[in-house]
């Protein structure tokens, strides 16, 4: 059996930035969009272009394993084509790390921002074809639609710039591989190059533009992420609902904690933790909406951290799980069924506390059950919660 021919195309996907302007705890390429990371979306565009390619993912040191797993998943049968390397402190350093991993035989190298997660495959093809046809640097560009002004540091406008000469530059940027390597080697130390094409141009090579694509915009700020979310959901908000129920029996020997509040002179509730049926029902509703199981499977009843724990502890821990899974809470509604405590007087207090804890509106209604069932016989409290999340 002969070895398959090495791909002639190499695509470096730079994903090692921290995403300061996006302001999420995880590096930007690992933030989710419609349930999948930006890196995964970006790689889908790369693998959907028709030419076999070596794909070099440049990842933060902390996320190399994650990047490799994502690469394998998207590459499927061609996962041998994926290489993961660690990035550097600047985008240029990350590009250099990626370039060092490009196989010898490549004739065209593309450099692509993982942050341009929704770049369609046609843009890759346009760039590759033009590089091969003319042996030049090729960058996707869009016309500038806004009026552009030059201003000084105080904000005073110096002049308006003729926008017909301007273009907004995107990635992937493509180059003949050997000439690009040589250009990078020749970079004068300390020279400021804002993108890959300026490195190539500085070495004396021509750079031309091909049409870019609106969808290839760079996710930089939270606003950009919302725009990207809107695009992947096809304009439909991506919403999920969940439901949770909790029941606890009265235990006169315990203090009552319900809805995160202490209720003096009321019978308490039995349970491994504080028996706060409202908080527990909300946790189950949140976990249910996020597809994360339930409170029992997430916070084992034997876990000493949660023995005697207040409802708020569960709520905060649940909220963290839900957010880690890429969801935000839209709202929560709770129905309590109980003879005691008398809810009406403190309903607003409960709602305010729970709303603060979850960072989203929580409404609580209470009813008795007309003397029927265990709640009617005043044996315990039942709480039913629904939660709405968006991703």
Is residue 199 part of the contact set for ligand CTP (CB under 6 A)? no
Task: Tell the smallest beta-carbon distance from residue 141 to ligand CTP (Å).
Answer: 17
Q: What phi and psi, each to the nearest 5 degrees, are found at residue 109?
A: -120, 135
Is residue 94 part of the contact set for ligand CTP (CB under 6 A)? yes
Residues within window 205-234 making contact with ligand CTP, judged by CB under 6 A: 218, 220
Tell me how many residues contact Mg ion (CB under 5 A).
1
Task: Tell the smallest beta-carbon distance from residue 61 to Mg ion (Å).
Answer: 17
Task: Tell the smallest beta-carbon distance from residue 24 to ligand CTP (Å).
Answer: 10
Q: Is 215 annotated as a binding residue?
A: no
d(CA 149, CA 245): 59
Is residue 115 part of the contact set for ligand CTP (CB under 6 A)? yes
| 373, 379 contact by CB (below 8 A) | no
Give the number of other CB atoms < 10 A from CB of residue 305. 10
For residues 28 and 205, which CB has a smaller minimum distance to ligand CTP in the complex?
A: 28
| 70, 38 contact by CB (below 8 A) | no
Is residue 18 part of the contact set for ligand CTP (CB under 6 A)? yes
Q: Quick one: which segment of 13-21, 174-182, 284-292, 359-367 binds ligand CTP (CB under 6 A)?
A: 13-21
Task: Tell the smallest beta-carbon distance from residue 101 to ligand CTP (Å).
Answer: 13
d(CA 376, CA 366): 13
Three-state secondary structure string covering 355-374 = HHHHCCCEEEEEECCCCCHH
* 31: helix, strand or coil: coil
Q: Is 181 annotated as a binding residue?
A: no
For residues 90 and 185, which CB has a smaller minimum distance to Mg ion in the complex?
A: 90
Candidates 195, 215, 217; CA nearest to 207 is: 195
Report residue 356 as tokens: 């603060």
Residue 205 CA, distance from chain mean position: 38
Residue from 9, 12, 16, 53 that binds ligand CTP (CB under 6 A)?
16
Report residue 117 as tokens: 């997660």
For residues 222 and 300, which CB has a smaller minimum distance to ligand CTP in the complex?
A: 222
Is residue 19 part of the contact set for ligand CTP (CB under 6 A)? yes
Tell me how many residues contact ligand CTP (CB under 6 A).
22
Is residue 87 part of the contact set for ligand CTP (CB under 6 A)? yes
Per-residue x/- track, 41-60, ligand CTP (CB under 6 A): -----------------x--
| 116, 218 contact by CB (below 8 A) | yes
List Cβ neighbours of 42 (8 Å cut-off, separation of 6 or more): 13, 15, 29, 112, 113, 114, 115, 116, 117, 119
Is residue 286 part of the contact set for ligand CTP (CB under 6 A)? no
Q: Is 63 annotated as a binding residue?
A: no
Q: Is 247 annotated as a binding residue?
A: yes
d(CA 246, CA 381): 8
Q: Is 377 annotated as a binding residue?
A: yes
For residues 101 and 136, which CB has a smaller minimum distance to ligand CTP in the complex?
A: 101
Number of H helices, E strands in the chain: 12, 19
For residues 113 and 351, which CB has a smaller minimum distance to ligand CTP in the complex?
A: 113
The answer, yes or no, to whether the previous bond of 341 is cis (omega within 30 of 0) is: yes
For residues 58 and 109, which CB has a smaller minimum distance to ligand CTP in the complex?
A: 58
Q: Give the angle subtended at the CA of 291 by the CAs of 71 and 329, to the nearest 5°.
A: 100
Residues forming the site for ligand CTP (CB under 6 A): 14-21, 28-29, 58, 87-91, 94, 113-115, 218, 220
Binding-site residue positions: 246-248, 272-273, 280, 294-296, 367-370, 374, 377
Binding-site residue positions for a divalent metal cation: 246, 248, 280
Residues forming the site for Mg ion (CB under 5 A): 17
């Amino acid at each position: 059996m002969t070895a398959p021919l090495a791909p002639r195309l190499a695509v470096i996907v730079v994903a090692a930035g921290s995403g300061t302007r996006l302001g999420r705890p995880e590096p930007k390429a690992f933030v989710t969009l419609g349930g999948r990371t930006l890196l995964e979306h970006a790689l889908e565009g790369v693998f959907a272009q028709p030419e076999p390619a070596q794909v070099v993912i440049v990842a933060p040191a902390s996320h190399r394993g994650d990047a490799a797993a994502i690469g394998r998943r998207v590459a499927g049968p061609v996962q041998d084509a994926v290489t993961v390397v660690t990035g550097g402190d600047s985008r240029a350093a990350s590009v250099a790390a990626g370039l060092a991993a490009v196989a010898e035989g490549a004739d065209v190298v593309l450099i692509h921002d993982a942050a341009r997660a929704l770049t369609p495959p046609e843009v890759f093809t346009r760039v590759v074809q033009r590089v091969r046809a003319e042996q030049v640097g090729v960058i996707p560009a869009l016309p500038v639609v806004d009026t552009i002004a030059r201003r000084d540091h105080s904000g005073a406008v110096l002049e308006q710039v003729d926008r017909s000469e301007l273009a907004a530059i995107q990635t992937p940027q493509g180059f003949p591989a050997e000439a690009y390597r040589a250009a990078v080697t020749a970079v004068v130390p300390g020279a400021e190059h804002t993108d890959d094409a300026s490195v190539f141009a500085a070495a004396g090579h021509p750079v031309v533009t091909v049409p870019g694509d609106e969808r290839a915009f760079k996710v930089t700020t939270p606003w950009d992420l919302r725009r990207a979310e809107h695009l992947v959901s096809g304009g439909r908000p991506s919403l999920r609902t969940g439901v949770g129920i909790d029941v606890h029996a009265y235990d006169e020997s315990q203090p009552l904690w319900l809805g995160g509040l202490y209720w003096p002179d009321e019978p308490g509730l039995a349970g491994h933790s504080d028996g706060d049926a409202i908080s527990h029902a909300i946790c189950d509703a949140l976990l249910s909406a996020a597809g994360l199981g339930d409170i029992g499977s997430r916070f084992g009843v034997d876990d000493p951290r949660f023995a005697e724990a207040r409802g708020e502890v569960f709520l905060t821990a649940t909220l963290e799980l839900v957010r880690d899974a890429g969801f935000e809470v839209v709202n929560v509604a709770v129905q309590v069924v109980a003879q005691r405590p008398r809810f009406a007087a403190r309903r607003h207090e409960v709602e305010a506390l729970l709303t603060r804890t979850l960072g989203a509106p929580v409404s609580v209604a209470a009813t008795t059950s007309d003397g029927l069932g265990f709640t009617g016989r005043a044996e315990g409290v039942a709480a039913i919660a629904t939660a709405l999340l968006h991703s």
